[in-house]
Structure 1
Amino acid sequence: MAGKSRLSEWLRRRSAGSDTDPGSAPALAREELINAAAAAGFPVAPAAHPSGYGCSCDRVGCPTPGMHPVSFAWHTQATTDPQKIDHWLRTLPLANFISATGASHDVLDVPADAGGIALERLAAEGGDAGPVAAYGDDRLLFFTATRGTPVDEDEWWPCELDCHPETVDEHPGLRWHCRGSYVLLPPAKLPTGGAVTWLPGRGPDRPLPDPLPLLEVLMDSCAQVEYVPETVGWRL
């Protein structure tokens, strides 16, 4: 499929380790990646992780194993404080991490095929997508500046694309993670065996783009793929 080949081109240099020894290369890379995200101003908080065929949390039949925060107070818990983050990394060596959106950044979350088309277009036009992460093989996360913290609260405007954790299923196409939402940060592990990883050269150190011009490109790209409910996927 053309979309998959596009994504494969962007992801060809990805690698994911499985060693969780605190002194191992994957563990050190995990610390570096989480600290780099926090240094870029992304507020982070610990999340559950896949455990066997389930979730590390104590919820029986957890519907989102390894993909939700540890604490229900993640809104206020999320931080960029290096000491707090170092404590979590040391005491929760298997934990995934989330970044709370709507404070310092938003995330535009699209199907992988559409995201691959958008990346090609932006590269051809000299545009900058900013930080971009792959959510397994299914979706791409475009990190942008936020529209969620205006000085005047009356100036904040909701959008039908706004996505919250409990409404993800309602947004199979383009999702806008802003106030009240979060995304898993690289190098999170997914229950499918995949991972959340930064695309090569598109880590959190890149400047955050304005979401509106990028939104236009992503919406055009999503219009070029067709959602197929019966196969839970997208095709060109």
Structure 2
Amino acid sequence: MSAENGGGTRRQGRLTQWLRGRRPKETADTGGREALLLAAARAGLPLAPAAHPAPGHICSCDRVGCPTPARHPVSFAWQTQSTTDRAQIERWARHQPQANFITATGMVHDVLDVPLEAGAEALENLLSAGVEVGPVAESDDGRMLFFTLTRGTPEDEDEWWPCELDSHPETADEHPGMRWHCRGSYVLVPPARLPGDDGRQVRWLRGPEHRLPDPLTLLEALTDACSRHAGTQPDHAASVWPLRH
């Protein structure tokens, strides 16, 4: 048992070192933030303003006991508000310099959201195998986000399922550790700040200049990695599920 644990620890250490080695440097100034947001919009990711950390490790929104501090849109109309329009995003970024931004999924892109260690393992394996991997973001709350093409709008609306069903705890055995953000969901888009004094962020590992892949080309590697890491990761569900007002 100790040998297995030691091997697992060494492997996680190698994955962590590999992950840090691939992490790009991001500028923290306002111009750098705006440039990253506009790059995401040029890639087709629809954006909308989100809450941000406030003093006291709380959320900038006025909701008492906000369940997803600094991780949710500021408007109830975020799905229709989300846009790739450069002028609008510039106005938001300049008039709300502290705001995070979300990107609405299920319009142009989906997001496969997995535990960090599982994501690092899968990403290394996918790149080593020459698989086309699109944009990938790392969140300091222990998640990795793989941006893919959306599943598309089928002719038969019954083929759709809400994102909440993908993320529901009752499906954890079928999809260990993975959440598939599709229509009706959103994720924070880099650069974003998370609550806390330790400078936690959401940052790009692979930027939005990478082409969005078909999600099915990544799914097997991600599912396998999540299965291997099942039970070893903390539950961050409350911090990433879409906030329902």
Structure with greater proportional helix content: 2
Q: Where does structure 1 lack aligned partners over 5 or more consecutive residues?
A: 19-25
Q: Secondary structure at the match of 2:138?
A: strand
| 1:17 positional shift | 5.7
1:194 corresponds to which letter in structure 2? Answer: R
| 1:75 positional shift | 0.8
Q: Where does structure 2 lack aligned partners over 5 or more consecutive residues?
A: 1-8, 237-245
How many residues in Structure 1 have an aligned counterpart in Structure 2?
220
Instruction: Say whether 1:197 aligns with 2:203.
Output: yes
1:144 to 143, 148, 152: 148
**CA gap 1:149/1:8 in 2 versus in 1, 3 angstroms:** farther
Q: Secondary structure at the match of 1:227?
A: coil
**CA gap 1:135/1:169 in 2 versus in 1, 3 angstroms:** farther
What is the aligned partner in structure 2 of residue 40 from structure 1? 43
TM-score (norm 2): 0.81
| 1:29 positional shift | 0.9
The 1-side partners of 2:107 and 2:200 are apart by 28
| 1:216 positional shift | 1.0
Q: Cα deviation per residue 1:1-20 (whole Å; 9 max; x = unaligned)?
A: 333541342233444666xx
| 1:227 positional shift | 1.4
TM-score (norm 1): 0.84
What is the aligned partner in structure 1 of residue 99 from structure 2? 95
1:7 corresponds to which letter in structure 2? Answer: T
1:80 corresponds to which letter in structure 2? Answer: T
| 1:154 positional shift | 4.3
Q: Is the CA contact 2:105–2:184 (under 8 Å) kept in the aligned structure 1?
A: yes
| 1:72 positional shift | 1.1
Q: Cα deviation per residue 1:66-109 (whole Å; 9 max; x = unaligned)?
A: 11101111011100111111110111000000000000000000
Q: Is the CA contact 2:163–2:181 (under 8 Å) kept in the aligned structure 1?
A: no
Q: Is the CA contact 1:161–1:175 (under 8 Å) kept in the aligned structure 2?
A: no
Deviates more, 1:72-81 or 1:4-13: 4-13
**CA gap 1:212/1:159 in 2 versus in 1, 3 angstroms:** farther
What is the aligned partner in structure 1 of residue 16 from structure 2? 7
**CA gap 1:116/1:107 in 2 versus in 1, 3 angstroms:** same
Instruction: Say whether 1:224 aligns with 2:233.
Output: no
Q: Secondary structure at the match of 2:150?
A: coil
| 1:156 positional shift | 3.5
**CA gap 1:120/1:6 in 2 versus in 1, 3 angstroms:** same
What is the aligned partner in structure 2 of residue 174 from structure 1? 178
What is the aligned partner in structure 1 of residue 3 from structure 2? none
Q: Secondary structure at the match of 2:231?
A: strand
The 1-side partners of 2:94 and 2:192 are apart by 16
The 1-side partners of 2:170 and 2:189 are apart by 20
What is the aligned partner in structure 2 of residue 31 from structure 1? 34
**CA gap 1:112/1:174 in 2 versus in 1, 3 angstroms:** same
**CA gap 1:187/1:113 in 2 versus in 1, 3 angstroms:** same
Q: Is the CA contact 2:60–2:70 (under 8 Å) kept in the aligned structure 1?
A: yes
